[in-house]
Amino acid sequence: MDLPVWQALYQEMKDRGFVPIAVAFDSAGASAAKPWIEAANPTYPCLIDQRHFVAELYDMVNVPTAVWIDEQERIVRPSEPAGVTDAFRTMDRTNFSMPPDALKELTAKRQSYHDALRDWIVNGARSKFALPPAEVMRRMHTPSDDHVRAAANFRLGEYLTERGEAKAAQKYFEEAKRLRPESWNYKRQAWALEDPLKAGGPEFWASVDGLGARKYYPPIEDL
């Protein structure tokens, strides 16, 4: 999650009761995530989910992902990409620059997502972006047996890594990735625990390139 961008939106909309809650999915815990949070200095809650409990509860397989929850603690929109597109795939991997057209696409998607969020904050259930319960249920995914086994294998991999048994952990990470290949969280965290530089390095980009015409961020149906 882009903390400064959400800080600006929070400052704009907080008097209407809007509170973003950022969650860092980082198996290395505070040692990896806390410096980034402190550097951004947000004034809204920021959590570190070392065990990926939130990811499992809300079916989050990538970042940035968002869930809209109203004052009655009801899900208004289930997990979906938070104002991002596959435009990053056009990035120059040596200097991280993006072509103007791709940057324009990404900026427009972020703007449209935040505009939809503002509409919901102001209009609540009357907002056209607030989904009815039946549609929320249609878009949610009940964990399959493979998803449950993937989570268990990933947790075992984390446990072994923390015990200094990184080599033994790798087979459990690989099994988690096999059982749930759509989870980029599993892939990135397994790479990062093996070597922090791998999380955004050749292994990551090779996996992205391996998607071919398939999407990294699935498009949102109505945004």
133 and 162 fall within a common domain: no
The answer as to whether 126 is a domain residue is yes
> Where residue 222 falls among pLDDT bands split at 50, 70, 90?
confident
List pLDDT tens digits, range 61-118.
999 999 999 999 999 999 999 999 999 999 999 999 999 999 999 999 999 999 999 9
Question: Does 110 reside within a domain?
Answer: yes
Q: 3 and 43: one domain?
A: yes
Q: Has residue 68 been placed in a domain?
A: no
Report the 3 state secondary structure along the chain: CCHHHHHHHHHHHHHHCCCCCEEECCCCCHHHHHHHHHHHCCCCCEEECCCCHHHHHHCCCCCCEEEEECCCCCEEEEEEECCCCHHHHHCCCCCCCCCHHHHHHHHHHHHHHHHHHHHHHHHHHHCCCCCCHHHHHHHCCCCCHHHHHHHHHHHHHHHHHHCCCHHHHHHHHHHHHHHCCCCHHHHHHHHHHHCHHHHHCHHHHHHHHCCCCCCCCCCCCCC
Residue 203 belongs to domain spanning: 145-209
Q: Examine residue 70 and state whether it is found in any structural domain, yes or no.
A: no
72 located within any domain:
no
Residue 201, in any domain of the structure: yes
Structure token digits, residue 25? 């999915």
Is 11 found in the same domain as 44? yes
In a domain, 75, yes or no: no
Q: Would you say residue 170 lies in a domain?
A: yes
Report the domain count for the chain: 3
Prediction pTM value: 0.92
pLDDT tens per residue, range 180-213: 999 999 999 998 888 776 777 888 999 999 999 9
Verify that 11 and 50 share a domain, yes or no: yes
Indicate if the pLDDT at residue 1 is higher than 60: no
